[in-house]
Amino acid sequence: MSRFVPKTVRCAIEDVVRYFQKLQYARITIRNLRRLLNKFEAFARARGERYLSTRLAQAFLDHFRRTACTGPDSFKWRYSRHAMRVLMEHASTGAHRQQGVYHKQPTILPKFMEQVITDIIEYGRNSLRWSESTVQIRTLWIRRFLEFAHKKGLKNWESLRVADVSAWIIHLESLGTASRRQALAAVRFLFKALFLRGRLSKPLHQMCLTPRFPDDCRPPQIWDFKDIKRLLGAVDRRSHWGKRDYAILLLAIRLGLRSCDIRLLRLDNIRWDEAIIDIVQQKTKRPLRLPMSNDIGDALADYLRHGRPKVSRREVFLRNVVPFVPLTNALSHIVRRYRRKAGLSTSPGYGLHSLRHTVATQLMAHGVPHETISGLLGHVHPDTTRRYLRTDISTLRTVGLDPDEEVRHV
C-alpha cells in the first residue's frame, strides 16, 4: 500500500465516511462501511495503538479472518478487505480506486528514460498546447515503447535503431490500425525530441517509414439508415441508462460529434433559447457551433429532468452509479450494446466514430458542399474531410436517407 501522512484511526475513519457522503453513496453503503471500520477502531484500541498503519490494517484482517470463521471466498472476508483498502487508499491519496477499474502498475524505467518522458510531456503540454487527451495518449505510447526497448536491453539513447520501432509495431499487431498509427506518431515525436536535444546523433524520426497496415485501403464503415433506426429503437428510454444513452447516440448520429466532445459536453454549452450547441472542440481547440434539432433537444431535456443524477457537476453526461462523475471511457461500448440488442452485427469498425463517418457520407450523398461538411464536423484541414468521404458509389446508395424523415428533425 502507498505511504501516507500518519493519521489517527478515528480521524481516518471520519474522513473516509465524509468522503463517501460527498460522493453521494447510498446510506446503507456508508452504514456498512462505518460498521466494519468501527470494529477496526475497537481492535486498534485493544492493542493500544492510536495511529493508522499498514501493519495495523493487516493485523486486523488476520484477526478478522480467524474470529469471523470466514473462508477466502466469503462475502464477509471480501468486504473486510475492500473496506480496509478504501480506508488506506483514502488516507494515502484522498480518494479510492473504484472496483471494476483496471489499474496497471507502470514498469519502473531507468532514470534517463523517466526524465525524458517528463521533459517531453511538459514541453508538449506547455509549448505545443497539447490537450490532456493528447498528453495521455502520447505518454502511454512513449512509455510502452520504452518499456519494450528496456526489456530488449536498451542502455543509452545512441543504441536506438529504426529496427526497434519495426519490431515494436509487429509486437502491436493485435491492435487496431488507429492505435498503431498513434503509437508510431508518438515514437516519432520521441525520436525528434531526442535528436533536437542532442541525445541522438541521427534523425531517426525521418527514417521511420509509415508501414502499410492491412486495412489502410478499407473504406470507413457506413451505417444503413434502417440499421440506425433499429439501433435507436433498441434503447429503453424509460430507464436512466436509456435516457442518457439515447441522448448520446443522437448527438453522434445527427451532429457527428466526437466521443471526447460528447463526454465533456457541459450544461453551459447548451443554449436552449437559440437551439444551439456551442463547444470548443477537445481535439482541435477550435470553437464549433451546431444546430440542436428538436429530437436532440427533447432527448437532452428528458435526460436532464428524469435521468441525470441530482448533483452540482456541470458536465451533462454522468455515471448512473456512485460516484456520479463524468464518463471517462470511450463511448463505443454504448453502440456495441445496442447493436447487440437490435440484432445487428457487432463486427469491429461500428463504433461511435463510424457514426461520424456516416454523417459526412449522408451529407455528401445529398449534395452538401465539401466546405460545409468540413465546417459541420469541425475539421481544420480539408484533407481530413476527404478521408472521411473515402467511399464508393455503391456505399452511398446504401445510406440514402428519407428526406421527409430528416426534415422532421430540424
Catalytic sites, residue numbers: 258, 283, 353, 356, 379, 388
CA-to-CA distance for 129 and 138, rounded, in angstroms? 13
Q: With residue 276 as reference, give the H or E element that holds it.
A: strand 276-280
Closest CA to 400 of 364, 370, 365, 369: 365
CA-to-CA distance for 377 and 362, rounded, in angstroms? 13
Contact 117, 139 (CB under 8 A): yes
Q: For residue 278, give the DSSP letter.
A: E
- Written as nine digits, the cell of 376 is 459541420
Largest CA distance in the chain: 80
End-to-end alpha-carbon separation of the chain, Å? 55
Closest CA to 140 of 189, 213, 99: 189
User: Phi, psi (5° rounding) for residue 105?
Assistant: -75, 125
Q: Is the peptide bond before 323 cis (omega within 30 degrees of 0)?
A: yes
Q: Would you give the distance in Å from CA 83 to the centre of its chain?
A: 27
Residue in the block written with cell 486486523: 60
373 conformational bin, left if phi > 0, alpha if psi -120 to 50, beta if neither: alpha
Q: How many residues does the chain have?
A: 410
Contact 354, 222 (CB under 8 A): yes
User: Phi, psi (5° rounding) for residue 165?
Assistant: -70, -45
Closest CA to 311 of 297, 268, 319: 319
